[in-house]
Amino acid sequence: MPAKPMSPQDRSERARIAAHRLHATHDSRQITSNARSAFLDRFAREVDPDGILAPEERARRAAHAKTAYFRALALKSAQKRRGAAQAT
C-alpha cells in the first residue's frame, strides 16, 4: 500500500527534526563552511571582478560591501516592520 502523502506542516517538522539531528552530531561551522566561504567571496568578486587589486585592498573593500549589504537588508526589514505596524 502506498504511503499517505505528508502535509506541508508535517514535512516541515520532519525537516526540522533532521536538521537538529544533523547539528547534534556534527560541527555546524564545518557543515556550512563552504557556503559561508562562497557567500563572502561574492563580495570580493563584486569589488574586484578582474582581480587586479592588492589582497589587502580587496579585503578592505569587500568588508565595506558586506557591511553595505547587511545594512541594506536591515533597512528593508525596518521599513517592512514600520509598514506592518502602521497597517494594524
Asked whether the whole model's pTM tops 0.85, one would answer no
Residue 8 has pLDDT above 90, yes or no: yes
**In angstroms, rounded to a whole number, what is the distance separating the alpha carbons of residues 22 and 26?**
6
Task: Give residue 1's pLDDT band: very low, low, confident or very high (50, 70, 90).
Answer: low
Q: Which is more confident, 2 or 26?
A: 26
Helix, strand, coil % over all residues of the chain, rounded to 5: 80, 0, 20
CA 62 to chain centre: 17
Amino acid at 32: T
Asked if 40 contacts 58 with a C-beta cutoff of 8 angstroms, the reply is no
Render pLDDT for 13-70 as a digit per residue (tens, 0 to 9).
Answer: 999 999 999 999 999 899 999 999 999 999 999 999 999 999 999 999 999 999 999 9
